[in-house]
Amino acid sequence: MGNSGDAQEGAKPPRSAAIHPGPGFRIRTDFPRLDAGIVKAFEQYATPEISDLLNRLYALDSEIVCMSGGGRPTVGLACTVRTFPGDNLMVHKSLDIAHPGDVVVVAASAGRNNAVIGDTVAMKAMHRGIAGFVVDGLMRDLPAVRELDYPMFARGTTPVGPLHRGPGEINFPVACGGVVVNPGDIVVGDDAGVVIVPQQVAEELLERLARHTAGVTSYLAKVRKGEFSNAWVDDYLTEHGCPVTGAEPDPIAELPLEAGIDHPTTAG
């Protein structure tokens, strides 16, 4: 009898393989939402402009590119999804959680083995009115998704599909492409890349974008006519003491040695 019990116990999966409710396996059905007009206003601005005014720290990794649905901006509130590598159970569940107009942001650990999304999810998302997907990982069925003209941003494509077992999370903070994305942040994607606008700065950023764009528009109009000066570059070089010479010997070799600093011609 004892041997029989041991055999039955050995037939069960190890307890370490269990999925535990709580952190890593949980869902929030919604989050505080900005006014739809504020979100829509970002459609008029390109991601490089937005990135510049966020001090170049809120653009996703450049490997996450527009794979489908390009030529127009993809803008919406972030419905965040965190998946276990190679799994997309929570991606499927996000179709029930995301509101029309949301962008689903999938943190898939930049996985390079399995896709976490394909044409089936894309078709379902279109019917639900979801604005698009941003995936820190791979997609599949690229030709079919492109036929749908559905906005999809990812690191690349593979024919290898996902599992559907979990764990994962929906609408909790995630790291996507090197940027922390909170549920309800504004996602702006276009052919130049993807940028995240933290929800709490959105209104103030719109005001700054309007002022910035007015100045840039005037400047670029002059540049198109050949009316510009690079004097600011010379001013900067002069201010920082950059040597500017012609064909003379390298001026660095003639600079005096400073204490504790190896001279470039003698070091190593």
The tens digit of pLDDT for each residue in 89-102 reads 999 999 999 999 99
In a domain, 148, yes or no: yes
pLDDT of residue 258: 63
The tens digit of pLDDT for each residue in 191-202 reads 999 999 999 999
The tens digit of pLDDT for each residue in 135-190 reads 999 999 999 999 999 999 999 999 999 999 999 999 999 999 999 999 999 999 99
Residue 183's CATH number = 3.50.30.40
The answer, yes or no, to whether residue 265 has pLDDT greater than 60, is: no
In a domain, 189, yes or no: yes
In a domain, 144, yes or no: yes
Q: What percent of the chain has pLDDT over 90?
A: 80
Of 7 and 40, more confident: 40
In a domain, 33, yes or no: yes
pLDDT of residue 186: 98
Phi, psi for 158 (deg, rounded to 5): -155, 150
d(CA 158, CA 261): 51
| Domain that includes residue 110, residue range | 24-215
Q: Report helix, strand or coil for 16.
A: helix
In a domain, 262, yes or no: no
Please compute the mean of the pLDDT values over residues 8-29 and round it to a whole number.
84
| Domains: count for the chain | 1
Please compute the mean of the pLDDT values over residues 107-134 and round it to a whole number.
97
In a domain, 11, yes or no: no
Which residues are paired to 168 by β-bridges? 25, 83
